[in-house]
């Protein structure tokens, strides 16, 4: 019996991991938080979510066709679905359809395919989509609403939802500020954090998700559960999430201790905004984060510090997307300086000295 | 005993149960044996026989030549059919000079060298000579002539003889079986080797997935306080010499040094048994236990195979193929070499013949790298395969060399773990091959340059000397200033020295 011709060297065994499996696991981890939030914000959120994910897949297919790359095989890696999903989670739930579509174009076509497609992009596509829209359409991108759980009284039905998402009929009675936005606004009016904190939902409510915010910002607990699931599945390691949250918490806690009138507590920063989503699902994006564990910790701490800086001193109340993008830009350099020490060599790459017996 | 962690590594499907409970069986002598002159690292042996010669079992048929080489012996009695070029058991499929022996079925022993009666009072030379004479090479796969490694005791002070019974490659169970069936022979061989090396201690490292071997070896070693059996964690590539040393002693072998520089010499357990045979019975290395396994083999087994038996015959002995193998591998699935055909012989370094199905290999089309960093996490050498591969892909081999591609020993952990199925080891093997060639080339050029420079100097000196000699003869006829004569004298002296 003949044997196949030799085409390459070993190994002649392979783990059962694949890009598709990895992406699918991440999607699975997002399901609980997403389902809860879609329920919380009702039909308009479901429509926006569908439009955004659909647009990402469509733009990906178009780009692949233009680049003359295999369309179906590449779509099957779920990376476009994941980008669309994360993008939808970073948008205001009742935003009009064109926000999702435009963000998808920026995310997939510009941030991903213009750089060479999967694995080649420097910046996190979903976050590029979100920030471009936030900078260009600040009003539409900060139109938060209070939760309107599906089928509850006052929640929009499907027909109303279609009018909200596709007709641009945003009911003007439902808008609400996110906790971070509220505190920032109050602070600008001279009202200290200690006072304005009384007006925001208490921390447990915020952690559970009963508050205004983007799809992925609310319900820190379900996001945390998804993140822990990813760790258990060894899709991500603790290094980035812990250093993002640890960095943010530490710097916030220090400044809170020094001047509690101007700076909210570390716990507040952890559970508000997109901290959990960012730490577990955005900053951990393989392509745009460092590969070595040491590099990941530096990257995470940088994200945490930047989130706090932007939230407190920049023009925007929320800083996760900007912070991650800034650190994305540094990731290649971090990688270069944090390569692991090779066996038998010192950190400079010189052979170790023999110990004198 | 306290163990030390080693970096990275993977936990592949071991699939050892296919053969781990199969006792070693003896393969009947095939119709012909194909004994290559080079089955080891180093120079090929010098052939001692010619067509038509009758040889006996254990007779030397090719002699080691040069410092790094190993002799070959007839695995059975018979007639030399011819000495010719035969496809080597190497992925290149290139031919290599091979002695073809037709067994006569009598299996008659030649006059073997006398057993060394009391090896523990014999000197190192006597033992090493016997090991060299017996054609013993490292049987873990690298096939480095063992006698050279046994000489290390003369150059350095050694502390530990470490026997490698880790057998971390999936499928392979030959060392496991040898340890379970011949523990006393291994222990005896180890004591002899420790004596030759001058090491006061012997440590036997066995992975924890071989509990019977650990138990049996511990029992066999219990009579000798200097021998210790250590169960090491199941973590591929624990069987790598440097990593096993680190796991057991906590000491990290510096790059470009040997474990012997730390006072530790590592030998495979099966090699140790071969040493026992050579010293106690004068028997050379003419057969070895080979694990024949894989999803495409009908009856996986551990087979005592005569050196030179064709893989086709060995597979036939194990019931042939039950399915079409995608690849037939010489060695383990992680570091083994694909065979170009089944018409190649089993050699001294063949620890396994694996006929693997496509499903077992699980090869899939390569997709783009998503920089997941798994390869960096698992690399036991602390390298960054993702970055090295990027350099190799652009043929920037200098860049890859700077990142340490030459430190890679192709364990395959990165390729195994890669979710994009990028053949990283293939890239690195390519890079190492080209870089080695370049290095050889530059060394050669350097040498030519040095030789040319030396020649110029020599000619200059000779001319100078001639002139000086001429000048020295002159003073006889007409007087020269004293200073000049001093110079001439110096020049003549120089000539004499040259």
| B319-349 per-position pLDDT tens digit | 999 999 999 999 999 999 999 889 999 999 9
* Secondary structure string (H, E, C) spanning chain A: CCCCCCCCCCCCCCCCCCHHHHHHHHHHHHHHHHHHHHHHHHHHHHHHHHHHHHHHHHHHHHHHHHCCCCHHHHHCCCHHHHHHHHHHHCCCCCCCHHHHHHHHHHHHHHHHHHHCCCCCCCCCHHHHHHHHHHHHCHHHHCCCECCCCCCCCCCCCHHHHHHHHHHCCCCCCCECCCHHHHHHHHHHCCCCHHHHHHHCCCHHHHHHCCCCCCCCCCCHHHHHHHHHHHHHCCCCCCHHHHHHHHHHHHHHHHHHHHCCCCCCCHHHHHHCCCHHHHHHHHCCCCCCCCCCHHHHHHHHHHHHHHHHHHHHHCCCCCCHHHHHHHHHHHHHHHHHHCCCCCCCECCCCCECCCCCC
Interface residue A346 vs chain B (CB under 8 A): no
Peptide bond into A11 cis (omega under 30): yes
User: Which of B336, B356, B368 is nearest residue A119 as measured by Cβ atoms?
Assistant: B368
Distance from the B123 Cα atom to the nearest Cα atom in chain A, whole angstroms: 26
Residue B333 lies in a domain: no
Q: What is the pLDDT of residue A161?
A: 83
Cβ–Cβ gap B407/A344 under 8 Å = yes
Cβ–Cβ gap A345/B421 under 8 Å = no
Q: What is the pLDDT of residue B88?
A: 87
- Chain B, residues 165-204, CB within 8 A of chain A, namely 170
Interface residue B437 vs chain A (CB under 8 A): no
- Chain A, residues 3-62, CB within 8 A of chain B, namely 3-4, 6, 8-19, 21-22
Contact B167, B236 (CB under 8 A): no
Interface residue A287 vs chain B (CB under 8 A): yes
Domain match, B285 and B373 both: no
pLDDT exceeds 70 at position A4: no
Cβ–Cβ gap A12/B381 under 8 Å = no
Interface residue A293 vs chain B (CB under 8 A): yes
Q: What's the CATH number where B261 sits?
A: 3.40.50.11540
Mean pLDDT value across residues B242-255: 95
Q: Provide the residue count of chain B.
A: 498
pLDDT exceeds 60 at position B482: no
User: Which of B379, B417, B423 is nearest residue A15 as measured by Cβ atoms?
Assistant: B417
pTM for this structure?
0.88
Domain count along chain B? 2
Confidence label for A1 from pLDDT (cuts 50, 70 and 90): very low
User: Which of B325, B404, B429 is nearest residue A342 as measured by Cβ atoms?
Assistant: B404
- Chain A, residues 74-93, CB within 8 A of chain B, namely 77, 79
Domain match, B279 and B413 both: no
Take residue A232 and report the two structure tokens written for it.
């258990």
Cβ–Cβ gap B252/A344 under 8 Å = yes
Confidence label for B358 from pLDDT (cuts 50, 70 and 90): very high
Confidence label for A356 from pLDDT (cuts 50, 70 and 90): low
* Sequence-separated (6 or more) residues with CB below 8 Å from residue A303: A240, A243, A244, A247, A248, A278, A279, A283, A320, A323, A324, A327
Of B257, B289, B321, the last residue of a domain is B289
pLDDT exceeds 50 at position B498: no
Q: To probe the interface with A, which of B367, B386, B389 has the most A CB atoms within 10 Å?
A: B367
**Residue of chain A whose Cα is closest to the Cα of B372:** A286
Domain boundaries, position B185: 16-104+115-289
Per-chain mean pLDDT for chain A: 88
Mean pLDDT value across residues B161-189: 96
Of B289, B313, B333, the last residue of a domain is B289
**Residue of chain B whose Cα is closest to the Cα of A121:** B370
Q: What is the pLDDT of residue A152?
A: 78
Interface residue A294 vs chain B (CB under 8 A): no
Q: What is the pLDDT of residue A51?
A: 95
Give B109-165 pLDDT, tens digit per residue.
999 999 998 999 999 899 999 999 999 999 987 889 999 888 888 888 899 999 999
Per-chain mean pLDDT for chain B: 92
User: Which of A21, A79, A349 is nearest residue B404 as measured by Cβ atoms?
Assistant: A349
Residue B125 lies in a domain: yes
Interface residue B252 vs chain A (CB under 8 A): yes
Take residue A98 and report the two structure tokens written for it.
């064109």
Q: Which residues of chain A lie closer than 8 angstroms to B372, CB-CB? A: 22, 286, 291
Q: Which of A211-225, A273-287, B6-20 has the lowest mean pLDDT?
A: A211-225
Cα distance between residue B370 and residue B161, in whole Å: 44
**Residue of chain A whose Cα is closest to the Cα of B367:** A19
Q: Which of A154-158, B308-312, B396-400 has the lowest mean pLDDT?
A: A154-158
Q: What is the pLDDT of residue A154?
A: 75
Cβ–Cβ gap B325/A3 under 8 Å = yes
Distance from the B305 Cα atom to the nearest Cα atom in chain A, whole angstroms: 21
Interface residue A70 vs chain B (CB under 8 A): no
Residue that is written with structure tokens 């650190």 in the block: A327
DSSP E strand stretches across B68-139 = 72-73, 78-87, 95-103
Domain match, B273 and B413 both: no
Cβ–Cβ gap A15/B157 under 8 Å = no
Residue B206 lies in a domain: yes
Interface residue B384 vs chain A (CB under 8 A): yes
Q: Which residues of chain B lie closer than 8 angstroms to A15, CB-CB? A: 10, 12, 416-417
Distance from the A103 Cα atom to the nearest Cα atom in chain B, whole angstroms: 22
Residue ranges covered by each domain of chain A: 18-176, 177-211+236-337
Q: Which residues of chain B lie closer than 8 angstroms to A296, CB-CB? A: 373
Cβ–Cβ gap A14/B364 under 8 Å = yes
Cα distance between residue A175 and residue A316, in whole Å: 18
Q: Which residues of chain B lie closer than 8 angstroms to A328, CB-CB? A: none
Residue B231 lies in a domain: yes
pLDDT exceeds 70 at position A188: yes
Residue B264 lies in a domain: yes
Domain match, B90 and B206 both: yes
Cβ–Cβ gap A291/B371 under 8 Å = yes
Compute, in degrees rounded to 10, the torsion defined by CA atoms A121, A123, A125, A131.
Answer: -150
Cβ–Cβ gap B364/A4 under 8 Å = no
Interface residue B374 vs chain A (CB under 8 A): yes
Of B289, B312, B330, the last residue of a domain is B289
Contact B77, B55 (CB under 8 A): yes
* Sequence-separated (6 or more) residues with CB below 8 Å from residue A42: A148, A149, A150, A155, A156, A161
Distance from the A16 Cα atom to the nearest Cα atom in chain B, whole angstroms: 8
Interface residue B340 vs chain A (CB under 8 A): yes
Cα distance between residue A214 and residue A303, in whole Å: 20
* Sequence-separated (6 or more) residues with CB below 8 Å from residue B439: none
**Residue of chain A whose Cα is closest to the Cα of B171:** A13
Q: Which of A188-197, B62-71, B142-151, B413-422 has the lowest mean pLDDT?
A: A188-197
Interface residue A342 vs chain B (CB under 8 A): yes
Q: Provide the residue count of chain A.
A: 357
Distance from the B369 Cα atom to the nearest Cα atom in chain A, whole angstroms: 6
Cβ–Cβ gap A286/B370 under 8 Å = yes
Cβ–Cβ gap A292/B376 under 8 Å = yes
Cβ–Cβ gap A12/B361 under 8 Å = yes
Distance from the A189 Cα atom to the nearest Cα atom in chain B, whole angstroms: 46
**Residue of chain A whose Cα is closest to the Cα of B359:** A13
Give B190-201 pLDDT, tens digit per residue.
999 999 999 999
pLDDT exceeds 80 at position A3: no
Confidence label for B234 from pLDDT (cuts 50, 70 and 90): very high
Give A297-333 pLDDT, tens digit per residue.
999 999 999 999 999 998 887 889 999 999 999 999 9
Chain pair A-B, CB pairs under 8 angstroms:
184
Interface residue A124 vs chain B (CB under 8 A): no
Domain match, B463 and B369 both: yes
HSE, side-chain direction, 13 A CA sphere, residue A263:
20
Take residue B294 and report the two structure tokens written for it.
């894989």
Q: Which residues of chain B lie closer than 8 angstroms to A11, CB-CB? A: 333-335, 412, 415-416, 425
pLDDT exceeds 60 at position B249: yes
Residue B145 lies in a domain: yes
**Residue of chain B whose Cα is closest to the Cα of A343:** B381
Interface residue A353 vs chain B (CB under 8 A): yes
Confidence label for A65 from pLDDT (cuts 50, 70 and 90): very high
Domain match, B381 and B488 both: yes
């Amino acid at each position: 019996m003949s044997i196949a011709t030799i085409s390459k060297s070993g190994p002649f065994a392979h783990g059962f991991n694949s890009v598709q499996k990895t992406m699918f696991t991440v999607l699975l981890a997002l399901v609980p938080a997403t389902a809860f939030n879609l329920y919380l914000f009702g039909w308009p959120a479901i429509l926006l979510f569908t439009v955004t994910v659909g647009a990402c897949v469509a733009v990906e297919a178009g780009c692949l066709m233009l680049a003359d790359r295999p369309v179906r095989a590449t779509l099957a890696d779920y990376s476009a679905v994941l980008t669309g999903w994360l993008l939808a989670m970073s948008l205001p739930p009742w935003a009009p359809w064109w926000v999702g579509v435009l963000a998808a174009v920026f995310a997939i076509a510009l941030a991903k395919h213009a750089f060479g497609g999967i694995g080649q992009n420097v910046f996190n596509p979903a976050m590029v989509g979100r920030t471009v829209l936030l900078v260009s359409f600040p009003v539409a991108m900060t139109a938060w609403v209070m939760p309107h759980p599906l089928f509850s009284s006052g929640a929009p039905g499907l027909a109303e939802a279609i009018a909200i998402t596709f007709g641009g009929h945003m009911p003007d009675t439902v808008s609400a500020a996110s906790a971070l936005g509220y505190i920032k606004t109050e602070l600008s009016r001279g009202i200290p954090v200690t006072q304005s904190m009384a007006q925001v939902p208490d921390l447990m409510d915020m952690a559970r998700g009963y508050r205004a915010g983007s799809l992925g910002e609310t319900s820190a607990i379900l996001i945390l559960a998804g993140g822990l699931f990813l760790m258990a599945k060894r899709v991500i390691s603790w290094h980035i999430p812990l250093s993002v949250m640890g960095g943010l918490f530490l710097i916030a806690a220090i400044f809170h201790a020094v001047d509690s009138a101007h700076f909210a507590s570390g716990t507040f920063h952890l559970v508000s905004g997109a901290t959990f989503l960012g730490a577990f699902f955005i900053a951990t994006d393989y392509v745009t984060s460092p590969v070595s564990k040491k590099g990941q910790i530096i990257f995470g701490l940088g994200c945490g510090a930047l989130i706090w800086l932007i939230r407190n001193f920049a023009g925007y109340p929320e800083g996760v997307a900007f912070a991650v993008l800034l650190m994305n830009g540094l990731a290649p350099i971090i990688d270069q300086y944090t390569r692991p020490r090779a066996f038998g060599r010192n950190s400079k790459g010189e052979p170790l000295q023999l110990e004198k017996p | 005993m306290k163990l030390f962690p080693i970096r990275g590594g993977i936990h592949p499907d071991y699939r050892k149960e296919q053969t781990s409970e199969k006792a070693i069986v003896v393969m009947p002598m095939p119709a012909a044996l194909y004994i290559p002159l080079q089955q080891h690292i180093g120079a090929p042996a010098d052939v001692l026989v010619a067509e038509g010669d009758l040889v006996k079992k254990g007779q030397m048929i090719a002699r080691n030549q040069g410092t790094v080489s190993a002799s070959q012996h007839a695995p059975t009695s018979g007639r030399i059919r011819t000495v010719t070029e035969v496809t080597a058991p190497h992925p290149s499929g290139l031919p290599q000079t091979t002695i073809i022996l037709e067994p006569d079925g009598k299996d008659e022993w030649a006059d073997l060298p006398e057993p060394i009666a009391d090896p523990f009072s014999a000197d190192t030379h006597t033992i090493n000579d016997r090991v060299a004479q017996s054609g013993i090479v490292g049987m873990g796969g690298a096939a480095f002539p063992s006698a050279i490694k046994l000489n290390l005791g003369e150059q350095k002070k050694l502390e530990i003889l470490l026997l490698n019974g880790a057998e971390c490659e999936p499928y392979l169970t030959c060392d496991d079986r040898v340890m379970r069936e011949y523990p006393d022979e291994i222990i005896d061989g180890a004591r002899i080797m420790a004596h030759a090396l001058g090491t006061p201690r012997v440590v036997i490292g066995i992975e924890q997935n071989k509990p019977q071997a650990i138990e049996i070896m511990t029992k066999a070693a219990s009579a000798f306080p200097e021998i210790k059996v250590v169960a090491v964690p199941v973590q591929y590539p624990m069987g790598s010499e440097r990593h096993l040393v680190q796991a057991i002693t906590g000491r990290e072998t510096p790059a470009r040094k040997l474990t012997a520089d730390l006072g530790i010499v590592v030998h495979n357990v099966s090699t140790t048994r071969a040493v026992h045979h050579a010293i106690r019975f004068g028997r050379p290395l003419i057969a070895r236990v080979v694990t024949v396994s894989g999803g495409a083999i009908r009856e996986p087994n551990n087979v005592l195979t005569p050196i030179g038996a064709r893989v086709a015959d060995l597979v036939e002995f194990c019931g042939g193929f039950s399915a079409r193998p995608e690849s037939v591998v010489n060695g383990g699935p992680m570091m083994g070499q694909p065979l170009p055909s089944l018409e190649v012989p089993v050699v001294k370094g063949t620890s396994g013949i694996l006929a693997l199905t496509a499903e077992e290999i699980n090869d899939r089309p390569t997709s783009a790298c998503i920089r997941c960093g798994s390869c960096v996490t698992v690399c036991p050498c602390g390298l960054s395969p993702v970055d090295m591969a990027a350099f190799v892909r652009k043929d920037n081999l200098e860049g890859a060399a700077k990142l340490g591609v030459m430190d890679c020993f192709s364990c395959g952990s990165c390729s195994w773990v890669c979710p994009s199925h990028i053949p990283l080891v293939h890239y690195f093997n390519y890079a190492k091959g080209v870089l080695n060639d370049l290095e050889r080339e530059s060394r050669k050029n350097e040498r030519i340059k040095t030789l040319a420079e030396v020649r110029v100097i020599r000619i200059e000196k000779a001319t100078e000397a001639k002139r000086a000699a001429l000048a020295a003869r002159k003073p006889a006829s007409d007087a020269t200033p004293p200073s000049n004569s001093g110079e001439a004298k110096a020049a003549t002296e120089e000539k004499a020295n040259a």
